A and B are shown apart, each in its own frame.
Chain A
Amino acid sequence: MRYLPLTDVERGDMLTKVGAVHIDALFADIPNDLLLKAPLDLPRRKTELEVERALTKLSNRNIPASTSSFFVGCGAYKHHIPATVDHLIQRSEFLTAYTPYQPEISQGTLQSLFEFQTQVAALTAMDVANASMYDGSTGTAEAVLMAHRITKRRKAILSGGLHPQYGDVVRTVSHMAGDAVVSMPADVHADEDIIAKIDDATSCVVVQTPDVFGNLRDLSKIADAAHAKGALLIAVFTEVISLGLIKPPGEMGADIAVGEGQSIGNALSFGGPYVGLFATRAKYVRQMPGRLCGETVDADGRRGFVLTLSTREQHIRRDKATSNICTNSGLCCLAFTIHMTLLGQTGLRRLAKLNHAHAVALAEMVRDIPGVELVNKTYFNEFTLRVKGNAATVIEKMAARDVLGGVPFSRLAPQSGYDDLIIVANTEVNSDEDRMAFVSALKGSL
């Protein structure tokens, strides 16, 4: 086996040193009748070439985003990733390192985490950010739990524009923790009546912008209403590139900003691994879940970085910890940081503007199609179309024409009653030809 360095002779010598006559002597604590005597019914080892062929065959049964006109979004976005990003994250010293528990020989990981935290805080216009969460959806659930800890209340209100799968994750965890969740019904238009739901028992209001339908939301009024009742505003985003162009959560009164960072530096990967971004106000830092990297000095007074405020964490506080999380999305946030470093604010603004321009261009083209209605008044790079007939059927028909035309909302929320909505994402990767293909496929699939 190519991954195992020991030879049979060496194994024999080592067993002698250990004082065991047979390897199974080292497994003597396992009940003998349960010790497996024959190999399991699984394939025997394959050569590198064979493994490569087997998995390539599976891979070839999928249609990658890059080989079609691609308009699928709703929480994961197809963007161009510079070659430098993938090269750097594959460097052994990043790829095969562990959590930086020994800071003296982990400054590479730690400094990049410090840079990541600074970038996320700047993007969201919040005071502090952590070293990342699993993804945007689990981060949102953690944000709700954090709001419960801060307010000592246990009721969250979820906006009708929140990504339904994010809402599901919040409800799952909250239900198990015995907390209450009030979910506004899915609503393609702004749900201003969410303000009327805020009461003295409310810990937080969770509002997404751009919301799942693509609408931009001004959160300021909701923030004021929440704060007036002693509740927190949790601002959620699934498309981080929007923050290059639109007003950030920190400028609209958010207490916690949480979202998905996949768009910067990370591949679609069929849903994971992704990188959750999580930022908050300075006064709440000790209630924040997840890892934090901080600046300090070494014995010679030189600047260095360490994991810090770990007294919030499970390995110190056990059942009193702020969260059970004991990892971050290390490599994914490194990819984020590298791509963000390449972009800088100048590149990010341009990229965001280009995304928006592409969405505007497509919106102009679909307006003229009979039987299609653009639902949004505002949007960034994703909007919602109402079509005649069943949206899921339309999407399948478009796929048969080599256009992956978006997400039927009924796939996210089958019970919502919205069977005629398609959510369409436009990023910088789509060309004029792709948009024309979209229009043509949509016309032919209605």
Chain B
Amino acid sequence: MLNTQGRPTRAGAASAAGHETFTGNHALQLEEALIFETGRLDVTGVDVDEPPAFQSALGGLERTSEIGLPGLSEPETMRHYVRLSQKNYAIDSGIYPLGSCTMKHNPRLNERLARLPGFADVHPLQPQSTVQGALGLIADLAHWLMTLTNMPAVAMSPKAGAHGELCGMMAIKAAIAAKGEGETRNVVLVPESAHGTNPATAALIGFQVRAIPAQEDGTVHPGDVQAALGPDVAAIMLTNPNTCGLFEKDIVEIARLVHEAGAYFYCDGANFTAIVGKVRPGDLGIDAMHINLHKTFSTPHGGGGPGAGPVVLSNRLAPYAPVPFVLREGAWLRLVEHAEGEASLGRMTAFHGQMGMFVRALAYMLSHGSDGLKQASEDAVLNANYIRASLADLMSLPFGNRPCMHEALFDDSWLKDTGVTTLDFAKAMIDEGYHPMTMYFPLVVHGAMLIEPTESESKASLDLFIATLRDLAFGARNGEVERFTNAPHFAPRRRLDETRAARQPILKWTPLRPIADAAE
């Protein structure tokens, strides 16, 4: 059966012939051994000359044991990793609607610029006179971030979003200690719907976490915040727009209450992409917010990282910013590498942060301009609402059919009595050639499905995506359970046994598998 765009949609419509091949390969879907199974200990794919004889200075600490790492020649290496790459879904392959992850287009211009020798091939400890352009780039990016957020300071060195959270919360802790309240203010308020990194970050530096419930409409109520506030509260960590895809409409009031109670307002900026150029976080009363350059400003995720998490800070927190930072002294840019006062919270990482990501983010900003960034946010929000409005009659919306920000949140109540779970539904999307949405998050919604299309999707792309989800939804309701519970049928792997992986962990290759020597 074909859908309106002519794509086959029924499980089995494009199924394999039903017999196994000699190699285990299915045409372009190739089985690929591990490098340790094909490499040889005496092979190398790199030409390195043996040095002439010399007197070593290792003081008897030579490695005498075998390392045990086989090598591959260059063509073998090329083929191995190209074949592996073909087993991955990616944003360049199609829509990647992972809610709160903001998978948008990664322009290749940014890749080219990050590889300019003046950025990629400079050392963090070169004399400052030889890296004035690199420091200039950091200063320019900092200026953009401060202007977009209306915040007076920014710490550039945090290496990822969660690292930025740590930086912001450490600045808050330092500020509280400076006021002599370090002993008494030891609680951080975190909404139930927050990213798991928020409570983990607070706990890491010794705060206790007190949960704030979500209201029936998915937002945080000022009354609930007020009830939780007290002289023991150091800060609130709020995500805005929140993980239900909604703007916290009472945020100004919440900020006022928090400040009146002598606490600080940390904003998780993971969803900043929805509001760039529309509203400035500094105007909302925020004291600190990390910005995921890899989300909002489109630096590639690379299969899990690297990220970059600069943190903008209010005047109250600016004195506690970590080292290093860049100071403009006329035409000269000075890198301050060691705290010159007592206030700085210290150092987050050995060097100056994710320079490679800074170049990509600034290139993205310059390409859009302030007008284009605003347009991008509007398109991201429009696309999410278009999906919401187009599926509202079939899939259930936990907070009613009201406008959302850049992501649309559905729950699993519409799947009740179908025998299909959120997980099954997601795996069936894989068979249709899509990466599933974020599942089972936020935790406050049962069987959550959080769909974030971003501004990168065309209307045609969205229409096909919506048509596919509608077809799947009809299938689930019409009792086509097989299509879901056994999905995916067509991926390089069928459903993987995650329980077995956790119970009998095999975390590295060993010649005598399956001895699970990697765990107790």
Contact = CB atoms under 8 A, between A and B. Distances in A.
Contacts of A296: 496-498, 500-501, 506
A26 B382 contact: yes
A10 B368 CA distance: 20
Interface string A334-357: 100010111111111111011011
A112 B86 CA distance: 12
Contact of A377 (B59, B124, B159, B199): B59
Contacts of B383: 6, 14
B459 interface: yes
Nearest to B114: A269
A41 B277 CA distance: 11
A176 B206 contact: yes
B491 A105 contact: yes
B278 A36 contact: yes
Nearest to B42: A346
B223 interface: no
Q: Looking at chain A's contact residues, is the secondary structure mostly helix, strand, loop, or mixed? A: helix
B228 interface: no
A111 B204 contact: no
Nearest to B34: A115
A93 B88 contact: yes
Nearest to B132: A61
B53 to A, nearest CB: 9
Nearest to A51: B366
A445 interface: no
B197 A326 contact: yes
A407 to B, nearest CB: 5
B493 interface: yes
B411 interface: no
A297 B496 contact: yes
A104 B496 contact: yes
B231 interface: no
Interface stretch (B6-14, B384-392, B412-420, B469-477): B384-392
A97 B303 contact: yes
A332 B26 CA distance: 31
Nearest to B490: A104
Interface stretch (B89-97, B257-265, B310-318): B89-97
A420 to B, nearest CB: 17
Contact of B518 (A285, A342, A356): A285
Nearest to A15: B382
A315 B196 contact: yes
A404 B369 CA distance: 37
Interface string B104-139: 011101011111111111111111011111101100
B91 A96 contact: yes
Contacts of B202: 319
Given A270-B124, A272-B353, A330-B305, A292 B507 contact: yes
A306 interface: yes
A200 interface: no
Interface string B280-306: 100110000000000000001111111
Interface stretch (A74-82, A191-199, A225-233, A433-441): A74-82
A350 B322 CA distance: 40
A20 interface: yes
B178 interface: no
A182 interface: no
A368 B180 CA distance: 57
Contact of A114 (B162, B306, B365, B509): B509
A327 B304 contact: yes
Given A3-B105, A296-B501, A172 B123 contact: no
A271 B382 contact: no
Given A75-B351, A112-B81, A104 B430 contact: yes
A363 B57 contact: yes
Contact of A64 (B122, B163, B355, B436): B122
Contacts of A23: 378, 381-382
B196 A316 contact: yes
B136 A58 contact: yes
A351 B45 CA distance: 12
Contacts of B302: 89, 94-95, 97, 330-332, 334
Interface string A52-65: 10111111111111
B82 A66 contact: no
A70 B476 CA distance: 63
A1, A60, A282: residue with the most chain B Cβ atoms closer than 10 Å:
A1
Interface in B436-487: 436, 441, 455-459, 461, 486
A19 interface: yes
B272 to A, nearest CB: 13
Contacts of A299: 486, 494-497
B269 interface: no
Interface in B128-163: 129-134, 136-137, 140, 144, 147-148, 159-163
Contacts of A272: 159, 306, 349, 351-357
Contact of B204 (A2, A109, A177, A353): A177
B305 A331 contact: yes
B35 to A, nearest CB: 5
Given A3-B367, A4-B379, A123-B69, A75 B350 contact: yes
Contacts of B160: 134, 325-327
Nearest to A99: B304
A106 interface: yes
A135 interface: yes
A189 interface: no
A268 B123 CA distance: 6
B27 interface: no
A135 B199 CA distance: 23
A303 to B, nearest CB: 9
Interface string A233-262: 000000000011111100100000000000
Nearest to A355: B51
B113 A351 contact: no
Nearest to B70: A344
A360 B55 contact: yes
A36 B90 contact: no
A103 B496 contact: yes
A295 interface: yes
B371 interface: yes
A388 interface: no
Contact of B497 (A3, A106, A297, A340): A297
A331 B303 contact: yes
B109 A59 contact: no
A42 interface: yes
A365 to B, nearest CB: 13
Nearest to A74: B125
Contacts of A30: 247, 249, 275, 278-279
Contacts of A347: 44-46, 48, 71
Contacts of A138: 159, 163, 348-349
A82 B505 contact: no
Interface in B229-271: 246-249, 252
Contacts of B388: 18
Contacts of B66: 345
A178 to B, nearest CB: 5
Nearest to A56: B116
B80 A341 contact: yes
A428 B488 CA distance: 48
Contacts of B199: 314, 318-319
A375 interface: no
Nearest to B510: A118
Given A61-B136, A342-B74, A356-B57, A308 B502 contact: yes
A72 B125 contact: yes
A25 B277 CA distance: 16
B216 interface: no
9 contacts: A1-B372, A42-B370, A45-B367, A96-B91, A102-B430, A243-B63, A315-B195, A317-B200, A342-B46
The 4 A-B pairs at the shortest CB distance, nearest first, are namely A344-B71, A331-B302, A271-B351, A61-B133
Given A62-B131, A94-B90, A326-B197, 7 more contacts: A4-B455, A26-B405, A34-B284, A58-B137, A96-B301, A216-B61, A270-B351
